[in-house]
Structure 1
Amino acid sequence: MKTNSSLVSRRRMLLAALQGTGALLLSGCEDLFNRLHRNKKVLSVLESVEGGNYRLLPSATRRDKLAQEFTEADISKYFKPNGNPPPL
């Protein structure tokens, strides 16, 4: 009978191998995403679906759970530094 330590190490090794494979596969996707982002047909499909998403989202969640949206007039021209200001 095998011990639990050998099962755990096999599981960890398998998990690490799967994570490594996933990272390698996703590392090559940047070119694909860049080409899709430049494709006008893909952009038009995404823009057409965006309106439905805005209509569906409030019905799927409570009104007070969505992030507050601001107009451009609400945005301050001056932002105080948070923490240490940049050197002069």
Structure 2
Amino acid sequence: MANATFTVPCPTGVWTQVAAGEAYASVQLQKTSVGNVRAAIAAVEPAADLTEFVLLSEILATFPLATGDVLWCMPLGAADGTVRGIGTGV
């Protein structure tokens, strides 16, 4: 897959799949909404109470992805979130 930019809405209370290692070798990701958004890499949807995550900011964070990896995001708190990313194709 080629490089791509994307925006993904992240409803509160659930993990949302943002990108997969089958499509991208790496993803740069930032939050674009008010409130905190967490990100995690896992093969399947993480548990709602996961404590191993990265808290996103407005500055792009880079996540290298291997085949089988999935990048997930979930807002912290009661408000929905939005993330924007730049994916580098495999």
TM-score computed with the length of structure 2 as normaliser: 0.15
Give the structure, 1 or 2, with the largest relative contact order (CA under 8 Å, sep 6 or more).
Answer: 2
